Structure 1
Amino acid sequence: MGDTRLPPVVLSDTERSTLEDWARRRSTAQGLAQRAQIVLACARGWNNTRVAARLGIERKTAARWRTRFLLDRLDGLADEPRPGVPRTITDAQVEEVVVRTLEEVPAGGTHWSKRELAKVVGISPASVLRIWHAFGLQPWRTETFKISPDPFLIDKIRDVVGLYLAPPANAAVFAVDEKPQIQALERTAPVLPMLPGVPERRSFDYVRHGTVDLFAALNTATGKVITKLSAQHRAVDFRDFLDEIDRQTDPGLAVHVICDNLSAHKAPVVHKWLLAHPRFHLHFTPTYSSWINQVERWFAELERRCLARGVFCSLDDLKAGLESWIKVWNDEARPFKWTKTADQILDRICRYCDRISKPVH
């Protein structure tokens, strides 16, 4: 039963919908969600005592928000301004920080530091940093990009991605590339092992014992890798590596090889070899688009898990280390999963080109 001494709370359809939305959404500030529940309970005709008991709050809390809603409706449920230190940074100063960051550079410099900009604007470096954070500005960061100028960009992307997402029947698809000039590096002092609270430590300088080139063909369906170590990566070396792929692949399968635009991949000796092996088909990635070749992802694993922290006292030691890690990989091989369609990739490229072709500010 309602309390006839209390003014009734009558909601419009819009107000009820808004309050119910606030009450449901826990992402909304907890206080606002509770206030919405109080008003909705009052709208059912409940008195303040019943509302307080049902929601587990003080009776005076229910009375306060009933009164504020009746006076100011939905606006009355918002928090009132709280007392605190008066604001010392004006809107003009905030605007000046943002505009200078985006449109100017300091004399003799390439980008602002918080101290340089604070000195010009007349505020503290901490205030400049807070403004940068608020507007998502990071002048200390920079990134690089390269848009492929390949006239057959679209066709090549559709071709390569099609091989990943829908490989042909009765065929093996290999992502192929070379990792040239892998260095056999020996540290000038023994590596100090990791201890509790202390990371592994190694000397800054090293002794180089020569280099070796690695050819790799990643089977995109199984994740297994066919490799060949070579002193160089000439066209004849690439042809010899194709021979190795031919020997290790079921003769009943067609072979699709994804590779980049290195001149060695298009040399006459390779073309002649392809004519003698009609089951092989080469597919070229777009210019400056090594990111689309899955074997590059495998090279990243090789670098991270074998080479970056490896110590090799000779070229033979390096070769043995590479062969050992490759064997472990193949014993537990799993394919990399390609998820983006050609249309998604092209749409993103178009959006990026549109973004960089317009004025930034």
Structure 2
Amino acid sequence: MPVALACPIALTAYERERLKKMAYGHKTEHRIRQRAQVVLLAARGHSSARIAREMGLHRDTVRTWRGRFAAHRLPALSDRKRSGRPPRFTPLQTAQVKALACQLPPESGTPLARWSAPELAREVVARHIAPTICASTVRRWLKQDAVKPWQQQSWIFITDPAFRPKAERVLDLYARTWGGLPLGVDEYVISADEKTSVQARCRCHPTLAPGQARAMRVNHTYGRGGALAYLAAYDVHRAKVFGRCEPTTGIDPFMKLVAHVMSQEPYASARRVFWVVDNGSSHRGKKAADRLTAAHPNAVLVHTPVHAFWLNQVEIFFSVVQRKVVTPNDFTDLQQVGDRLRAFEDRYNATAQPFQWKFTTSDLDDLLARLDRHTADHPEESSATPA
């Protein structure tokens, strides 16, 4: 039988440059490198048999890639699309699994708080959606639509009818304005609140200091040494903290904090001192405002809206205290807790800078507009009982 002639290969300058990069590039896949080398040798006039001997390939393999390149040029060196294994699951089954993941487990009588991928796989089999399925398949399907039923996010409706004007007053104070007028140099803004139940946990074994390749080690077992309340007043624009440790919270401890601040300069002789507080029982409502004004005529109590404690800047300071002072909780008694809190106040006040508060009234309007759109799109949620 006559031997089939090898396909002649003639390269353009561009093809030769591309093939050289493919044949000798360090990051080129091995199979692509081999195919490019076959074509380059064929372009030099080498026979298929010689190329096969030099490269350690079968002659049919060389012929295949010579022929493909001659017919379709550079794109022919890539793998052709393959049909692969037939799919085990239908699009309907995939949609049913995703729909199941978007339902709360109690709605179907399943005694779970939320779905996990293994629990969903088990439920799919129990409902005869599919005879068998693994958790990794479920997780891959849900990832396509960014569905994560094992995660949760809390939310709450705005219940204060005067939310915007109250929030606007607080934000204006942070921007040093009140009633549309700028604050004077003798007017100050204080953010105040209580951090309740700061415990003294007496560890049963001493805490071990960190070492090479070893984190600090804190014994899990502890004895309870009591708890105290930490009250703090934070000057928003001067970044100064005034704190008090009390056995508990209440009206009297809060008024002691106010007296502690207002008896000092520059607040004692200030024209006005605005106290931003939340709606806790120690300083709630008009009675608290009247009580504060009666004790200190230049003090003005300003409440944040209900469920908007995040507008109170002293909460940022409390988060610093929690991270740097309280955690890990290892104290011998409440006296040590109080001493460390007071010492940290001095340390903080020595270097503190005002917080970079970036939430403005414009951001507030954007937030309320998004909530209004969400309520309009989901009216069934707006009729639910607020959290």
The alignment's TM-score, normalised by the length of structure 1, stands at: 0.74
Tell me what 2:370 maps to.
Answer: 351
In structure 1, what is the equivalent of residue 61 of structure 2? none
- Secondary structure in 1 matching 2:207: coil
Q: Percent identity?
A: 25
Match of 1:258 in 2: 276
Does the aligned pair in 1 maintain the 2:270–2:298 contact within 8 Å? no
SS across alignment from 2:149? coil
Following superposition of structure 1 onto structure 2, how do residues 1-361 of structure 1 map, counting pairs within 5 Å?
48-49=12-13, 81-82=81-82, 84-103=84-103, 105=105, 107-119=110-122, 120=125, 121=130, 122-167=132-177, 168-170=183-185, 171-250=187-266, 251-266=269-284, 268=287, 271-352=290-371, 354-355=373-374, 357-358=378-379
Unaligned runs of 5+ in 1: 1-46, 69-78
Max radius of gyration: which structure?
A: 2
Which residue is 2:59 aligned to?
Answer: none
Q: CA deviation at 1:245?
A: 1.4
Contact 2:277–2:303 under 8 Å retained in 1:
yes
- What SS does structure 1 have at the residue aligned with 2:255? helix
Amino acid at match of 1:264: S
Which moved further from structure 2: 198-207 or 237-246? 198-207
Distance 1:248 1:48 in 2: 87
Q: Matches of 2:170 and 2:213 in 1, distance apart?
A: 46
Change (3 A) 1:191 1:261: same
Q: Secondary structure at the match of 1:103?
A: coil
- Provide the C-alpha distance between the structure 2 equivalents of 1:148 and 1:214, rounded to a whole number of angstroms: 28
CA deviation profile, 1:19-42 (whole Å, cap 9, x unmatched): xxxxxxxxxxxxxxxxxxxxxxxx
8 Å contact kept, 2:289–2:300: no
Counterpart residue type for residue 101 of structure 2? T
Moved more, 232-241 or 256-265: 232-241
C-alpha distance in structure 1 between counterparts of 2:345 and 2:337, whole Å: 12
Higher mean C-alpha displacement, 177-186 vs 272-281: 272-281
CA distances 1:99-142 after superposition (whole Å, capped 9, x unpaired): 11113636333333322322423322111011111111111111
| 1:109 aligned counterpart, secondary structure | coil
Structure 1 pair 172–56 and aligned structure 2 pair: CA distance change class (3 A): farther
Q: Does the aligned pair in 2 maintain the 1:177–1:259 contact within 8 Å? A: yes
1:80–1:332: structure 2 CA closer, same or farther, 3 Å change rule? farther
Q: 1:228 to 1:294 in 2, by over 3 A?
A: same
TM-superposed CA distance for 1:219, in Å, is 1.3
Report which stretch shifted further, 108-117 or 252-261: 108-117
Structure 2 gap ranges (5+): 1-10, 23-35, 41-68, 74-78, 178-182, 382-387
Secondary structure, aligned partner of 2:210: coil
SS state at 2:87 partner: coil
> 1:180, CA displacement in angstroms?
2.0
1:240, CA displacement in angstroms? 2.0
Please list the CA deviations of residues 233-252 of structure 1 after superposition, one character each: whole Å capped at 9, or x if unmatched: 22122222111111234124
SS in 2 for 1:184: strand
Task: Say which is worse superposed, 278-287 or 186-195, in terms of deviation.
Answer: 186-195
How many equivalent residue pairs?
Answer: 306
CA distance in 2, matches of 1:164, 1:82: 63
Q: Which amino acid aligns with 1:243?
A: A
Shift of 1:164: 1.4
* Change beyond 3 A, Cα 1:129–1:273: closer
SS in 2 for 1:248: coil
The Cα shift of 1:51 comes to 7.8
How has the CA–CA distance of structure 1 residues 57 and 204 changed in structure 2, closer, same or farther, with 3 Å as cutoff? closer
Residue pair 2:174, 2:236 contacting (<8 A) in 1 also:
yes
Decide whether aligned partners of structure 1 residues 163 and 216 sit closer, same or farther in structure 2, where only a CA change above 3 A counts: same
> For residues 56 and 339 of structure 1, what CA distance do their matches in structure 2 show?
55
CA displacement at 1:183 relative to structure 2: 1.4
1:208-261 per-residue CA deviation (whole Å, 9 max, x = no partner) reads 222222211111113221112222322122222111111234124521110011
Aligned residue in 1 for 2:65 = none
Distance 1:52 1:217 in 2: 75
Provide, for residues 247-306 of structure 1, a one-character-per-residue CA deviation record: whole Å limited to 9, x for no partner.
234124521110011232147576244135332111100111111111011101101110
Give the SS at the match of 2:112.
Answer: coil
